[in-house]
Structure 1
Amino acid sequence: MGRNNSKIIELAKGFNNFYFKHLQTPPATTPGYTRLTIPQGNSTPHVVIGLLTPQILENLSPWQPHFILRNKNLEFTPKNPEKRTEIFHEILLDWKEKGLFHLDKTWRGENFEIKPGSHYTSDSTPPLFTLDRSATPLFGLRQFGVHVNGFVRKPSGLSLWLQKRSGNREMWPGFFDNLVGGGLSTKNTIITTATKESSEEASIPSDYLMENLKPAGAVSFFYESNYGLFPNTEFVFDLELSEDFEPSNNDGEVEGFVLVTVEEAMEIVKSSKFKTTSCPVILDFLVRHGFINSFNEPQLPQLLPLLHMPLDMFYTSNHGNY
């Protein structure tokens, strides 16, 4: 008789729901999904960059000269990044004007560079194309971001700063979130993104940030919602803050902030009030700092891989039977 999953394992399965629905049991298959690929020449395997639902595939049909369907692979045929970017921009503007796929509400005006996943943070690897951030889930494109865990050491123990997202935001309105988080947009590095988002979201001075920011690796997960697919990798940083520091927001995307104990933070994360796709970051923090351990979480060995999903293996030309 199998052991019941803990609440933490259920959370981890929740932010990896696409994996558990489609990819858990070999051979990994995604019935109804089509791989989006870019041909790389006769002698080089095509690059798998995304996954498409039947609805997305159908709405790409007016641009069929630029797409060729071969054996559950939709090849995006333009030969250079500029042309690919131009075509995607035309497609997305058309869908936005028609109100398709929530684009009229989620449009960010913030471009993401799309690169082969394992080369995403390499400055020497040119992008395959760029497109608005809001569209990346629609095409199942890999997404990258930065999160900063802000914490305070008190005599009574460790406390964490959490933000409460503005109720006006299209996605996750009013939910609790990590202190700072943002997507890795075009021309921004991991560290410039951390600096930019820390200033905009929490008014953290850049000089203090650069002196005290500690890199803490990354988390990755494979989530699905009504907005699309989120095969995300988030680069994680820890930032110890003084007891007299109080964050304030500058960009209108945050309603407020709360300083909570680790125990209180855990209860918020376990509730339905915390942003699902930010859960891996705070759970990883709690594991690394020993608050989630083998004594209080017997299923720790099952949790750790779910915080570090090997996304590269799902975006190779020979993986699975899509």
Structure 2
Amino acid sequence: MNGFMRHIRACNTAILPGQRHVFRVAGEIVGYIDPRIATALSDMGLANGNEFTLDDPSRLESIGAELASMGLYRPHDELFDVWGKEGEPPLGRIDRGALPLFGFIGVGVHLNGLVRKEDGQHLWIGRRARDKRLDPGKLDHLVAGGVPAGLTPEQAIIKEAEEEASLSPDVIRDNARQVGVIQYALDRPEGLRRDRLICYDLQLPDSFQPIPADGEVEEFLLLPIAEVFQLVKNTDEFKFNVNLVLIDLFLRESLIDPHSSEGRALRQALLGSENAQAVP
């Protein structure tokens, strides 16, 4: 089990709040301020004792743009929603690159592209392009990506599937199944990653051949799931958070006994560390 648990632990390294200050937007705790932007936010008048507060969420986008202009992060030029309480509408939006500096929740979608052959289950794997900003050249899912502002996870997975693997919207709408949610709180060089991953399974015909359409994937590989199992267990070939989605798949496919003490421990760990669950 340690071969799998190490990936989960590696994605739950953040201590919250740690050295960060709480950030309230419209009265709600929604993030944790990275010390690298604390002085800039103080100069904008957002410091409030030991916290930072913003009463007007509509300012988030311009605040993010100003921080980027100061060279405090590299913008993605893509807006993401800023979430407060789960189940309620987003409070505002900000450039995707700013999310880790504010400790905002980032929502992503991951799709397991499965093919059942005579010798068992197989999985489509993508290799990330070498010029990707994050984890270039690492193995990845058939389809994965963030959920841009204004889109639901369902809309985002349809968009990503068409862009990354030339899968038609109808195939995703009719056949992709949401199978779980994974969350974690991770310290990375870009800041605090508080991610919520919406996971999908898609059973594909043996005749399917993915075609990369947006240049983000270098190649696609169709591997026996047993081989993927060994890669996750024994190597770091996959992008850091893809390992977690695959461990969840292994539990559902019973490659790891979900009813064993080890399986239950992995399942609980995938829900997020105590620190991750303590935040909104």
TM-score when normalising by structure 2:
0.92
Residues 246-276 of structure 1: CA distance to partner in whole angstroms, max 9, x if unpaired?
A: 1111111110111111121122223121101
| Structure with greater Cα Rg | 1
Residue 115 of structure 1 pairs with residue 89 of structure 2: no
| 8 Å contact kept, 2:252–2:258 | no
What are the residue-to-residue correspondences of 1:1-322 with 2, within 5 Å? 6-18=2-14, 22=15, 30-38=17-25, 40=26, 46-63=27-44, 65=45, 67-70=46-49, 72-76=50-54, 79-95=55-71, 100-101=72-73, 103=74, 107-119=75-87, 122=88, 125=89, 127-270=90-233, 271-293=235-257, 298-309=261-272, 313-316=277-280
User: Offset of 1:115 from its aligned partner?
Assistant: 2.2
User: Offset of 1:314 from its aligned partner?
Assistant: 2.6
SS in 1 for 2:207: coil
Number of residues of Structure 1 aligned to a counterpart in Structure 2: 278
| 8 Å contact kept, 1:221–1:306 | no
Distance 1:257 1:132, change over 3 A: same
TM-score when normalising by structure 1:
0.80
Which amino acid is 1:174 matched to?
Answer: G
| 8 Å contact kept, 1:160–1:260 | yes
| Alignment root-mean-square deviation, CA | 2.0
Structure 1 distance, partners of 2:95, 2:188, is 18
Distance 1:129 1:93, change over 3 A: farther
Identity of aligned residues (%): 27
User: Offset of 1:313 from its aligned partner?
Assistant: 4.4
Which amino acid is 2:8 matched to?
Answer: A
Distance 1:182 1:294, change over 3 A: closer
Structure 2 distance, partners of 1:169, 1:294, is 35
User: Offset of 1:311 from its aligned partner?
Assistant: 7.4
User: Offset of 1:34 from its aligned partner?
Assistant: 1.0
SS in 2 for 1:306: helix
SS in 2 for 1:196: helix
| 8 Å contact kept, 1:220–1:311 | no
| 8 Å contact kept, 1:36–1:75 | yes
Runs of 4+ in 1 over 6 A off after TM superposition: none
Where structure 1 has 5 or more consecutive residues not aligned to the other structure, the ranges are 23-28, 41-45, 317-322
Which amino acid is 2:28 matched to?
Answer: V
Structure 2 distance, partners of 1:162, 1:238, is 13
Residues 133-157 of structure 1: CA distance to partner in whole angstroms, max 9, x if unpaired?
A: 1110111111111111100001100
